[in-house]
Amino acid sequence: MNAGAIDHGMGGVGEHAPRGFLVVGYGNRLRGDDGVGPAVAEAVAALRLPGVQVDVRHQLTPEVAVEVAAVDTVVFVDARRIEPQENKMTPESDSARHPLWVRCLPRRGLGRHTRASWTGHRSSPEPLVTLAEELRGWSPESWEVGIPVAEFGWGDHLSPEARREVPVAVETIVNLWRAWYARQSHEGAPHLSFVFPVPAAAPAQEAAPRA
């Protein structure tokens, strides 16, 4: 497991321990809202959910397939760019116009996403799941969670809009974890109370002194 991965054991749930639930949050923390994937992954890690492993990365690379091949469920979390023509939001229509994007990848039939799909050192989740299937013989249940954002300028802080989406994405992942936990333990997920964290806002800039 790489240095960015965090593993929380099942703590004895079930006689046969499941392989695990992996959250991969990726994005460039120095490009504004592109860092929202890592922010969500770290917020999930802070909840210390049983059986959850968290991997925070700058980008997806082939070695991630080794981790994907070792779990039963994987969730990829990344920023979903809002194109300028889409970015016509009002406070009332924001969530309706740009909902969180959640997609379940098919467990079979990903053969079209081969290793030739790699572009340089970057990739999307599909070829990683395909490579994991080659390594393991079958693919895990795989999800993509895309967080709608528009600010990709240089900077290491999320916009207010992106910070508002973080707890929504975390809650979505927790719900996926509950379903996974119930399948693995043959009983309902534990009744845990969560406070979904919101990343800190950028520090306020001091006003320039008047001449």
CATH code for position 142: 3.40.50.1450
Indicate if the pLDDT at residue 43 is higher than 80.
yes
Sign of torsion over alpha carbons 41, 43, 46, 47: negative
pLDDT band at 201 (very low <50, low <70, confident <90, very high): low
- Comparing C-alpha atoms, which of 152, 163, 174 is closest to residue 52? 174
What is the spatial distance between Cα 205 and Cα 22, in angstroms, rounded to a whole number? 38
Task: Please give the mean pLDDT across all residues of the chain.
Answer: 76
User: Residue 166 above 90 pLDDT?
Assistant: yes
How do residues 98-135 score in pLDDT, each as one tens digit?
678 899 988 655 455 445 455 444 568 988 898 888 88
Indicate the angle between helix axes 160-185 and 36-47, nearest 10 degrees: 50
Domain of residue 88, residue span:
5-185
Look at residue 155 and tell me if it is in a domain.
yes
Q: What phi and psi values does residue 188 have, to the nearest 5 degrees?
A: -65, 155
The verdict on residue 211 lying in a domain is no
Phi, psi at 189, each rounded to 5°: -65, 150
Residues 71, 210: Cα–Cα separation, whole Å: 59
Q: What is the C-alpha separation between 100 and 83, in angstroms, rounded?
A: 15
Residues 40 and 26: their CA atoms lie apart, in Å, by 9
Residue 93 belongs to some domain of the structure: yes
Among 26-35, 143-152, 188-197, the minimum mean pLDDT is found in 188-197
Spell out the residues 6+ positions from residue 7 whose beta carbon is closer than 8 angstroms to its own. Answer: 1, 20, 52, 53, 54
Residue 169 lies in a domain: yes
Q: Is 80 exceeded by the pLDDT of residue 203?
A: no
pLDDT of residue 45: 96
Number of domains in the chain: 1
Q: What is the pLDDT of residue 164?
A: 92
